[in-house]
Amino acid sequence: MTIAYLALLTAMLTTATPLVLAALGEVITERAGILNLGIEGTMYAGAFTGFLGAELFGSAWWGLLIAIVAGTLAGLLMAVLTVTLGVNQHVAGIGTTLLLIAACDFTSRLKYGGGTLPQIPKFGQLFADVPVASQFLLTYLTFLVIVPAAWYALRATGMGLKLGAVGENPEAADAAGISVARVRYAALAIGGALMAMGGAFLSLAMLGSFTLNITNGRGWVAIALVIFARWRVWPAVAGGLLFAAVDALQLQLVVTPEFAAVPREVMIALPYLVVIIALAVSGRNLRYPGAYLQSYRRT
Amino acid sequence: MRAGLLPESRHTRRRPRFTRGLAVTSVAAAAALILAACGGATGSTTSSSSSSSSSGGGASSEASSGGSSGASTDKPLVYGVFATPLEEPWDGAGDQGMRGAAGAGESVYKRTDNHDSDDEMTRTLTDLLTNQKPDIVFGDAFSSEDAVRAVAKNYPKVQFAFGSGNDPVEPNFSTFDNWLQDPAYLAGMLAGGVTKSNTIGVVAAMPIPEVDRIVNAFIKGVVETNSKATVKVTFINSFFDPTTAKQAALAQVAQGADVLFAERDGVIEAAKEKNLPVIGMMVDQKSQAPKNVMTSLVWNMRPTVEEVLKEFKAGTLHSQNLGQYSYMKNGGSSLAPINTDIPGGIPQALIDKVMAKQKDIMDGTFTTPIDEKPPAGSTTVGQ
């Protein structure tokens, strides 16, 4: 049996990029005490608005910028619902996901009438012929800039401390002069922007177009990764890489004669099984952020 | 800072503003329900040549000529009911066939799509059969055979023609499908002749008869021009998931494939990235990658639609297997023009061979064998 290991690593980094971006966004919002189940819809909206932006303005960069704006707005919508109005976070999140997916599909139908969607200018690959290094710029940005910056910001800056304080004990944070609402709004906005970037990666880098159901549950995988990572940045990255590696591995194994006896359904389920097992193993004695799922109001 | 020292019993939240919170929650819940439910509604009968409307559960639109709604004209009202989104190429081909017939003034055509469960199919069909009274319903039953057949039984006066892997049922349930084994065989010959690594990758939906027979015919075509080739087949377990299909194709390239067959959408993007020849599906997909797509298997559903309309007009409608109307020799499928402007080019001798075989298929000297057994993940043809 021959596995092309370099191709496996290449595929792992590509597949992991949207998962890592989305999981990172979710880490930030959940650290502030908000479970953002709008993640799947926000990724979807990022994929669609990124596609629209690239088509309208003729550049993938514009697409990315518009996706970031859309993601920020999606985050702010969640903030209005959960922070200002104090709506149940599960309901607000699922409602946001349903709303955003439906709105994108609707707009897509209005504009394109249900046919095959056009090809858009997409991001090219850097180092196209070098194994492993041949990745999209967004992948480099994600792993070399965004993740370390987020890790540092959460760990060692005043902003990060405020975020943690608001997520653990909003009353104490409030007493210390931190505006709970403002911090949560900021966390949701930044988190939404990252999720939308993850979605935009699918349309602007991987496909160069948009298709219905493009995110295909990746947002939910990211939610699982965040719990697996216990709200920490690097373990979330590791989880994303693990999922992507197993996915890349099964795609190669399924076409090798040696694995012909393994039912392909098992192969397809493999990455999900790995995540479930990882969750079951690491998910014991989870300590959620102190103010998880709780809205805060002065009384 | 992570407050490990703080007691677990929290007072982060005093008594919630109960009434207000409840009211907002109900509004949000209601909004979610409405969003989820609006899939069941079918569209109005306003006449328009553009299409519109979609939502989580389904979409409906009119995309035809014909002026007014079906009831006020003697043209039959044809309804297209698709399980997958219209953007999926199988639907696209069916839609095009029905739109063509409507455009030629033979029928009034409406459509609705994205009904991907038994329950949704049943509700949608019952709703439109009751309220819009179509004469003929076309659609795909693959993912909800039992549900669709059960509804058809309740409306014996309406003609049903559904894409299906099973048999037709009297008195009103006909079946059709994309019988693309002929162009698949020809495309296989091309792929076998073009590959240099003797490895060809196929990314397909799932092992069901309609997919299996296309992939198997493709493999048989490969055998005809290359006795040493290995054909690798990945099923992505979805009719429409281009990002997964692309990654599957890249994994095949990693395993040595240098020619790809895009039974599903997404593979062409991988071929473009790796600069490899690729074969498209359902419509001529050359425009997606003019320097990589060497040809496509093209499905033309118009003859199938015409047959049903002809019988409707003659009053001789009955249930039948319409499969033959998708055969190449009946104009139901074809191989798109061969594009030699691909990496490595295509030798003229190979094209001549393929064209000769195409002639044999058209005049009936050669019948492409039909094999509906699921192909293996890796088949070495010489063995």
pLDDT per residue as tens digits for the range B161-183: 999 888 899 889 999 988 999 99
pLDDT at position A193:
98
pLDDT band at B44 (very low <50, low <70, confident <90, very high): very low
Share above pLDDT 90 across residues of chain A, in percent, rounded to a whole number: 75
A7-33: average pLDDT: 96
Cβ of residue A144 closer than 8 Å to a chain B Cβ: no
Q: What's the rounded Cα separation, in Å, for the pair A98 and A297?
A: 27
**Tokens 């939610």 sit on residue:** A223
Cβ of residue A255 closer than 8 Å to a chain B Cβ: yes
Last residue of one domain, picked from the residues B142, B176, B210: B176
Identify whether A267 is part of a domain. Answer: yes
Q: In what order do the strands lie in the sheet with B333-335?
A: B333-335, B293-299, B278-282, B259-262, B199-204, B230-235, B378-380
A contact test, residue of B5, B6, B8, B12 with most A CBs within 10 A = B12
pLDDT per residue as tens digits for the range A92-116: 999 999 999 999 999 999 998 877 7
- Nearest-Cα distance to chain B for A110, in Å, is 5
pLDDT at position B70:
42
B340-357: average pLDDT: 95
B contact test, residue of A109, A180, A184 with most B CBs within 10 A = A109
Tokens representing A34 are 């908000």
Domain region containing B205:
181-298+332-380
pLDDT band at A1 (very low <50, low <70, confident <90, very high): low
Question: Concatenated DSSP letters for A186-226?
Answer: HHHHHHHHHHHHHHHIIIIIIISS--TT-STTHHHHHHHHH
Identify whether A74 is part of a domain. Answer: yes
Of B142 and B15, the structure prediction assigns the larger pLDDT to B142
Identify whether A295 is part of a domain. Answer: no
Both B108 and B88 in one domain: the answer is yes
pLDDT at position A257:
85
Give me the helices (H) in chain B, please. Answer: 18-37, 89-103, 118-131, 145-154, 181-194, 209-225, 242-254, 267-274, 302-314, 348-363
Identify whether B375 is part of a domain. Answer: yes
A contact test, residue of B54, B88, B239, B267 with most A CBs within 10 A = B54
pLDDT at position B26:
55
Q: What is the dihedral of CA A149, A152, A153, A154, to 10 degrees?
A: 120
pLDDT at position B45:
31
Cβ of residue B15 closer than 8 Å to a chain A Cβ: yes
CATH number at residue A238: 1.10.3470
Which residue of A109, A161, A165 is in closest CB contact with B53?
Answer: A109
B273-285: average pLDDT: 94
Q: What's the rounded Cα separation, in Å, for the pair A17 and A277?
A: 22
Q: Whose CA is closest to A290, among A67, A101, A31, A20?
A: A31
| Residues of chain B numbered 193-252 and touching chain A (CB < 8 Å) | 201, 207, 232-238, 240-244, 246-248, 250-252
Both B145 and B237 in one domain: the answer is no
Cβ of residue A165 closer than 8 Å to a chain B Cβ: yes
Identify whether B135 is part of a domain. Answer: yes
Strands (E) across A59-157 are located at: 125-126, 135-136
Question: Concatenated DSSP letters for B102-141?
Answer: HHTTS-EEEEEE---SHHHHHHHHHHHHHHT--SEEEEE-
Identify whether B364 is part of a domain. Answer: yes
Identify whether A299 is part of a domain. Answer: no
Is B51–A109 a contact, with Cβ atoms under 8 angstroms apart?
Answer: yes
Q: Which of B4-13, B122-131, B210-219, B283-292 has the lowest mean pLDDT?
A: B4-13
pLDDT per residue as tens digits for the range A106-157: 999 999 887 778 889 999 889 888 888 899 999 999 999 999 999 999 999 9
For residue B23, the chain A residue with the least C-alpha distance is A87
Measured between beta carbons, the chain A residues lying within 8 angstroms of B243 are 202, 206-207, 214, 216
Is A109–B247 a contact, with Cβ atoms under 8 angstroms apart?
Answer: no
Identify whether B21 is part of a domain. Answer: no
B19-29: average pLDDT: 52
Both B240 and B375 in one domain: the answer is yes
Identify whether A249 is part of a domain. Answer: yes
Stated as kind and residue range, the H or E segment containing B162 is: strand B159-163
Contact B141, B149 (CB under 8 A): yes
pLDDT band at B362 (very low <50, low <70, confident <90, very high): very high
CATH number at residue B292: 3.40.50.2300
A1-20: average pLDDT: 92
Q: What's the rounded Cα separation, in Å, for the pair B285 and B19?
A: 57
| Residues of chain A numbered 82-101 and touching chain B (CB < 8 Å) | 85-88, 91-92, 94-95, 98-99, 101
Both B346 and B219 in one domain: the answer is yes
pLDDT at position B170:
85
pLDDT per residue as tens digits for the range B249-264: 999 999 999 999 999 9
Decide if pLDDT at B334 tops 50: yes
Domain count for chain A: 1
* Mean pLDDT of all residues belonging to chain B: 83
Identify whether B310 is part of a domain. Answer: no
Measured between beta carbons, the chain A residues lying within 8 angstroms of B240 are 211-213
Which residue of A101, A264, A265 is in closest CB contact with B377?
Answer: A264
Q: What's the rounded Cα separation, in Å, for the pair B125 and B147?
A: 10
pLDDT at position B8:
39
- Nearest-Cα distance to chain A for B86, in Å, is 5
Both B193 and B211 in one domain: the answer is yes
Decide if pLDDT at B71 tops 70: no
pTM: 0.84
pLDDT at position B25:
52
Identify whether B30 is part of a domain. Answer: no
pLDDT at position B329:
92
Decide if pLDDT at A230 tops 80: yes
pLDDT at position A287:
82
Q: Which long-range contacts (CB under 8 A, 24 or more apart) does A101-105 make?
A: A101/A40, A101/A41, A101/A44, A101/A45, A101/B56, A102/B35, A102/B54, A102/B55, A102/B56, A103/A45, A104/A44, A104/A45, A104/A47, A104/A48, A104/A49, A105/A212, A105/B54, A105/B55, A105/B56, A105/B59
Report yes or no for ipTM above 0.95.
no
Measured between beta carbons, the chain B residues lying within 8 angstroms of A202 are 243
Between CA A271 and CA A293, with CA A29 as vertex, the angle to 5 degrees is 95
Q: Whose CA is closest to B379, among B259, B230, B270, B202?
A: B230
Decide if pLDDT at B120 tops 70: yes
pLDDT at position A128:
82
Both B194 and B263 in one domain: the answer is yes
Identify whether B27 is part of a domain. Answer: no
pLDDT band at B142 (very low <50, low <70, confident <90, very high): confident
pLDDT band at A264 (very low <50, low <70, confident <90, very high): confident
Domain region containing A265:
5-282
Decide if pLDDT at B308 tops 80: yes
Both B130 and B240 in one domain: the answer is no
Q: What's the rounded Cα separation, in Å, for the pair B300 and B322?
A: 13
Of A104 and B43, the structure prediction assigns the larger pLDDT to A104
